[in-house]
């Protein structure tokens, strides 16, 4: 149809609907005038009938009144004429045979100047017939107007037909006029449709038409703004807003291209160690600034490395990736070491000094894998291995790591299943008062008893449970077992406390405090007989969070112990801010009493600190009589270790408790 045809069609349709709208609206607007015309019509009929009747009466032809009435009734729809004498006696009536109004109504109508009476749809008018000064009679005229809707529909339909014929007749002329008026636009339209997509010239430069020039200039401006918005959207879609590096989506696309090229490329994955602690300690804003600083240092090392074609991006919350095509293993190893040193130099952000460390894993395509997804997975395997190492925390993938990772994955699945099947149980190691040899409690330790009877060390499964986020569930199981066991000992008349280790990850569980309350309430164990042990490093790393979590438990009566004391190198001020009752001396210092000349001084210092704070002390790992005697001489309160008893299952511990007799410390045999 073309632009001109569409314009012509729009013009014709607009004219038609505009006229139709006028015809529809006008009658409604003229309702008052229509009613007025009806009143005029009935009034005129009554006046005419009265005047003619008066002339006949004056001429003495009153007997001709019936013929007169018959003649006047024909002209109006449902017209009705009637003449009465002065006493309202009907003399003549013709036309419609509808009943006449009552004489009283007509008498009132006559007395009203120009009065009109409407009964139903019929209009009535009544006038006096006066001969001289006397009233000779009355003339009454009425009619029923035609229905408004019928009249209106007829008029509208007829006008619509006429208008349609007229518009069809002049449509070709309108079309020609539209083509002539729109010729510059149609020429421009054809030019735009045939425009080369690579042509970046402005549309305004393609026309000199005074009317089109402003329009084309506006189109150019809108186009430029939309392209700028598109570029910003693409930048946001593929760029990390914190580090301004390519984000994971763009990085993976580049990795797929590098692997598909088949020319050989290394993928290095960098992960910041314990970066979550930075978020917790300093807040998300400082953490973001630190991430931006790490990205800047990685950029600087990469640019100074001399390795060409490197591409870096942020691929995780605290992870970065680097693609290095055509580089040797030695060069990659040197780059990872340099990056590690650069990150370890430390940061000062808003006056706060912090140190970060990173681990690096690398894999090679196509040597290790031939797809982007696989090469990323293998680099993650190498990264996981690097995190287990000391300096340098870097690793390259090899098949042994994958086998190890698969074994680890199987162990993780078995751990999940073991938790569901209740394979994790609590064992109890006695705690003895050194001065009297009295049994004063036990520490509950988690053990994984496999279906085949094998026992898995906590050093193996605790880190896995923490990494998988299952430590809270495991901790709740051990907590309940410990509380029920201790409550059972106390019901048997042996007042004994129980200590339970708390992982730092359990503080992330919002139900931790309520789960401790529930274990106490369900078991009936008095709160003062439950002791929760928290490692020194975890307590000092986020003392405020520990305090917020532990004070409600402390207020209820639960005792709190700082475990592995001496390993975190915390200062005296940091410890005094925390609500602890017990210091537990780490077993490495106890075992070193006979081999390390500094160990006795360290133990004495810890005991002196505890004494200054008025807190109880527990020595872990007591294995010999000499160790027990040394601790007793230095006023240590409680000893715990294989010298007294290994950790025992609940049933064996019950037997141990029943058979146990307090003995002085110097009578224990090695």
The secondary structure element, H or E, covering residue 95 is strand 90-95
Catalytic annotation, pick one of 64, 620, 623, 626: 620
Q: What is the CA radius of gyration of the chain?
A: 52
CA atoms within 13 A on the CB side of 252: 11
Those residues with Cβ within 8 angstroms of residue 580's Cβ, 6 or more apart along the chain or in another chain: 539, 560, 561, 562, 615
SS3 298: helix
- Measured CA to CA, the distance from residue 120 to residue 127 in angstroms comes to 21
What is the distance of C-alpha 23 from the center of its chain? Answer: 55
Judge whether 438 counts as a catalytic residue: no
The pair of three-digit structure tokens given for residue 95, joined into one six-digit string: 């036309």
Dist. CA 332–CA 309, nearest whole Å: 13
Q: How far is CA 653 from the centre of its chain?
A: 52
Helix residue spans in 30-141 (DSSP H): 31-58, 65-72, 103-111
Closest CA to 278 of 340, 350, 342, 335: 350
CA neighbor of 58 nearest in space, from 67, 47, 50, 66: 50
The span from the CA of 562 to the CA of 574, in Å, is 12
Question: What single DSSP character describes residue 131?
Answer: E
Alpha-carbon distance of 63 to 65, in angstroms, equals 5
- For residue 140, give both structure tokens: 């009454």
> Is the distance from CB of 322 to CB of 258 less than 8 angstroms?
no
Rounded Cα distance, 335 and 15, in Å: 78
Q: Which residues contact 118 (CB under 8 A, 6 or more apart)?
A: 124
CB 384 within 8 A of CB 405: yes
Catalytic residues: 620
């Amino acid at each position: 149809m073309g632009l001109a045809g569409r314009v012509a069609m729009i013009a014709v349709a607009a004219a038609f609907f505009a006229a139709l709208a006028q015809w529809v609206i006008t009658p409604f607007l003229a309702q008052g005038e229509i009613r007025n015309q009806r009143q005029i019509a009935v009034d005129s009929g009554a006046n005419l009938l009265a005047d003619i009747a008066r002339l006949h009466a004056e001429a003495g032809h009153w007997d001709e009144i019936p013929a007169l009435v018959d003649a006047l009734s024909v002209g109006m729809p449902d017209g009705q004429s009637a003449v009465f004498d002065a006493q309202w006696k009907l003399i003549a009536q013709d036309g419609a045979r509808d009943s006449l109004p009552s004489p009283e109504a007509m008498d009132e109508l006559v007395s009203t100047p120009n009065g009109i009476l409407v009964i139903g749809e019929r209009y009535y008018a009544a006038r006096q017939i006066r001969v001289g000064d006397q009233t000779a009679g009355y003339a009454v005229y009425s009619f029923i107007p035609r229905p408004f809707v019928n009249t209106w529909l007829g008029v509208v339909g007829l006008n619509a037909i006429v208008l349609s014929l007229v518009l069809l007749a002049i449509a070709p002329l309108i079309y020609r006029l539209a083509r002539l008026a729109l010729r510059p636009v149609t020429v421009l339209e054809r030019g735009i449709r045939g425009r080369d997509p690579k042509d970046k010239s402005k549309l305004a430069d393609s026309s000199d038409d005074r009317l089109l020039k402003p329009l084309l200039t506006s189109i150019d401006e809108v186009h430029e703004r939309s392209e700028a918005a598109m570029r910003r959207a693409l930048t946001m879609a593929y760029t990390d807003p914190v580090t301004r590096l390519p984000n994971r989506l763009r990085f993976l696309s580049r990795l797929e291209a590098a692997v598909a090229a088949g020319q050989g490329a290394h993928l290095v994955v960098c992960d910041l160690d314990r970066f979550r602690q930075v978020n917790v300690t300093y807040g998300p804003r400082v953490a973001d600034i630190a991430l931006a600083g790490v990205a800047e240092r990685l950029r600087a090392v990469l640019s100074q490395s001399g390795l060409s074609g490197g591409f870096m991006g942020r691929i995780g919350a605290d992870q970065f990736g680097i693609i290095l095509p055509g580089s040797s293993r030695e060069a990659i190893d040197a780059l990872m070491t340099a990056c590690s040193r650069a990150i370890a130099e430390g940061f000062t952000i808003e006056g706060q000094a912090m140190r970060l460390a990173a681990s690096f894993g690398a894999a090679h395509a196509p040597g290790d894998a031939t797809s982007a997804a696989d090469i990323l997975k293998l680099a993650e395997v190498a990264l996981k291995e690097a995190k287990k190492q000391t300096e340098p925390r870097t690793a390259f993938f090899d098949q042994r790591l994958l086998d190890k990772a698969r074994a680890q994955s199987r162990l993780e699945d078995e751990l999940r299943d073991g938790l569901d099947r209740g394979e994790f149980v609590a064992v109890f190691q006695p705690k003895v008062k050194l001065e009297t040899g009295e049994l004063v409690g036990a520490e509950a330790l988690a053990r994984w008893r496999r279906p085949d009877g094998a026992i898995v060390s906590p050093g193996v499964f605790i880190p896995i449970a923490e990494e998988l986020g299952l430590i809270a569930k495991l901790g709740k199981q051990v907590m309940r077992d410990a509380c029920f066991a201790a409550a059972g000992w106390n019901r048997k008349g042996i007042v004994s406390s129980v200590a339970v280790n708390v992982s730092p990850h359990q503080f992330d569980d919002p139900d931790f405090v309520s789960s401790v309350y529930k274990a106490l309430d369900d078991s009936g164990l008095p709160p003062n007989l439950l002791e929760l042990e928290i490692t020194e490093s975890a307590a000092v790393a986020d003392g405020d969070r520990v305090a917020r979590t532990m004070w409600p438990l402390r207020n209820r009566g639960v005792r709190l112990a700082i475990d592995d004391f001496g390993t975190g190198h915390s200062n005296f001020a940091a410890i005094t801010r925390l609500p602890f009752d017990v210091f537990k001396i780490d077993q490495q210092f106890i075992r070193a009493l006979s081999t390390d000349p500094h160990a006795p001084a360290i133990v004495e210092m810890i005991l002196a600190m505890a004494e200054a704070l008025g807190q109880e002390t527990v020595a872990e790992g007591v294995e010999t009589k000499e160790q027990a005697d040394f601790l007793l001489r230095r006023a240590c309160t409680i000893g715990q270790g294989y010298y007294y008893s290994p950790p025992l299952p609940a049933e064996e511990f019950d037997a141990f408790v029943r058979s146990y007799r307090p003995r002085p410390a110097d009578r224990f045999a090695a």
